[in-house]
Amino acid sequence: MNNPKDKYEYVSSATLPTRWGQFRIHGFVETDSGQEHVALSYGEWQPDDIVPIRIHSECLTGDALFSTRCDCGFQLEKALQNIVAEGKGVLLYLRQEGRGIGLLNKIRAYHLQDNGMDTVEANEHLGFDADLRDYAICKLMLEKLNVKRVSLMTNNPKKRAALESLGIEVVSRTPIDHGITKDNKGYIRTKTEKLGHEFDPHLLK
């Protein structure tokens, strides 16, 4: 039987200066599909240290094009700032656009949302589950970076459950209630009510 690790491969690492500090970027690939993912690491730690991490799924519109109809870009920036403030940490950047449906299907879903559907209804109308993301590669990424125990930055409890199922010890979970705007409050309410994300309810009024 093939080792599940054979599905994923580490490729290379390099320095990555950013506005917040100098990170290292590490490349990984899914060998079956060719899908590429990266991790950003900052600082140093011992194997038993608790390391702050963020699992961030790619969002071209929010991360690179500054869209405010989601909170993704805001959370990405805040996570990197938090890591630098802590003096160490890791951001796992997974190429899972639109909760796994891909960029063009996400734009189709946006069109449906413009006409009254919420984000879950739009994905399902297109024939997809509400969330198709897979976090299995996180295990290899964290092992490569010598991370065994984490403090997870997320509003999504399913990410904690996914890491724990992979054998990663999640010592704590810290929400990122950041980047809530008039354009994305409805989107965030849907994530809270239908996908189980946890936000401060006072911020969604």
Does 21 score more than 70 pLDDT?
A: yes
Residues 68-80: what's their mean pLDDT? 95
Concatenating the DSSP letter of every residue in the chain gives ---GGGGEEEEEEEEEE-SS-EEEEEEEEETTT--EEEEEEES---TTSEEEEEEEE--IIIIIS--SSSSHHHHHHHHHHHHHHHT-EEEEEE--HHHHT-HHHHHHHHHHHHTT--HHHHHHHTT--S-----THHHHHHHHTT--EEEEE-S-HHHHHHHHHTT-EEEEEE-------TTTHHHHHHHHHHH-----GGGG-
Residues known to be catalytic = 131, 133
Q: Is the pLDDT of residue 61 over 70?
A: yes
What mean pLDDT comes out for the span 113-128?
95
CATH topology for the 18-96+133-204 domain: Rossmann fold (3.40.50)
99 annotated as ligand-binding: yes
Known binding residue 57? Answer is yes
State yes or no: 174 annotated in a binding site.
Answer: no
Question: Which pTM value belongs to this model?
Answer: 0.92
69 is in an annotated binding site: no
Residue 192: pLDDT band (50, 70, 90) is confident
Q: Is pLDDT at 201 greater than 80 in this prediction?
A: no
- pLDDT of residue 191 exceeding 90, the answer is no
- Domain boundaries in the chain? 18-96+133-204, 98-132
